[in-house]
Amino acid sequence: MELVFKKSEKLLSEKIRDIIVWGIVIFFVVTLFFPLISLSIKATEDNAGNFIGLQNFIQYLTSPGVVSSFFNTVKIATLTMVITLILGFGYSYGMARSNIKGKGVLKFLILLPIFAPTMLHGISLVYLFGRMGIITTGFFGRFPNLATDINLYGSTGIVISEVIYTLPQAYLIISMALQNSDYRLYEAAKTLGTSKVKQFFTITLPSCKYAVFSTATVSFILAFTDFGAPKVVGGNYNVLATDIYKQVIGQQNLGRGAVVSILLLIPAVISFFFEKSLEKKQRDTFNAKSMNYRIENSTGRDIFFYSFCWFIGLSILGLFITAGVASFVKMWPYNFELTLNNYKFFDFNGGAFHFYKNSITIALLSALFGTIIAYLGAYVCLKTESLTKLRNVIKFFA
């Protein structure tokens, strides 16, 4: 009787998981697949709604400036990916493999950019490195020897903003891989007399290669599709994301905007199939018998990573402090008299508190339902053995 009850309970739990799988698939179809179909249809129509086939694609791809926008976007995304990988790996390695002080604060600082849009990073960079920025003018002429012009507007400013934007994701992905490394491999290498440098290239990097690939994919796609940074510090440097804005808002050409949107989706689709091919190997990398890494004492290593991590963390904090201070200034950079006029929300049309309430409401609902759907989706994808094709559909849409 007990055996029958357990079988019934197991069958019921499997049925519930199958229902959840179907529910999430339906959710994605309604909220993501149908809009994408609508977007694809709009890309084949003119502004009057008449079907014109691939004419929008042809006109856009053959129009002057498109090739430069595409290569500019690829250049920005590639540079962001490379710099983010180097800085993110170094930061993660310092946090996971050294005895530096203040790791709790450093973790908080590296995750700060997650809580702000790239527009804020760009605005802060303008305050610091713009034509009348603090650093550019040598603290407004007080320290001319410290004046530094990095030619912010254009590719330089966009890349800096995107690197700040993607660093938290890189840290989260790579640090997880470093924390799950099997220390037994390092013990064996140490017994065989393998140097630290060789251990890094033969053990550490191979154990993190899938995390590195994931980081590269995420940072490339985020930089490839971001609109905020190019809009604020891009100047006349055109990228595909700003092309959408120009087509839809500037020219009211929804068909062309849909074309660019579809082009921006291509890297995400390609990356899915790459990650899918690596998924099984990545899953087999760790096991229950793995030992946690034991950090050995090394003064030189700790000094280097202490300086490296705190420099990055304080640089990020500096951007947020700059934006905060500027919000209390009457007219940057011409009048530095402190004022609270910028916080007179009631002066805005409709009242900024109304907008703020709407934003909080949307954020709370997104957090609630997004967390539930994300958790259930991850659970059924990992814990359910049936409905393999549907689970792959969930991963693809996610």
pLDDT tens for each residue of 28-60: 999 988 988 888 888 888 777 788 888 888 877
**What's the CA gap between 193 and 208, in Å, rounded?**
22
Reported as a pLDDT band with limits 50, 70 and 90, residue 350 is low
**What's the CA gap between 393 and 398, in Å, rounded?**
8
Reported as a pLDDT band with limits 50, 70 and 90, residue 251 is low
What's the average model confidence in pLDDT over 308-313? Answer: 95
State the residue for tokens 């792959």: 392
What's the average model confidence in pLDDT over 126-132? Answer: 88
Strand positions, DSSP E, 270-394: 329-331, 335-338
Domain ranges in the chain? 67-251+265-338
Reported as a pLDDT band with limits 50, 70 and 90, residue 287 is low
Domain 67-251+265-338 part of CATH 1.10.3720.10: yes
* Residue 349 scores a pLDDT above 70: no
393 sits in the region (left: phi over 0; alpha: psi -120 to 50; else beta) called alpha
Contact 373, 24 (CB under 8 A): yes
CA of 117: how far to CAs of 113, 124, 162, 374, in Å?
A: 8, 12, 10, 22
Tokens of 174: 């790579």
What's the average model confidence in pLDDT over 286-305? Answer: 77
* Residue 143 scores a pLDDT above 90: no
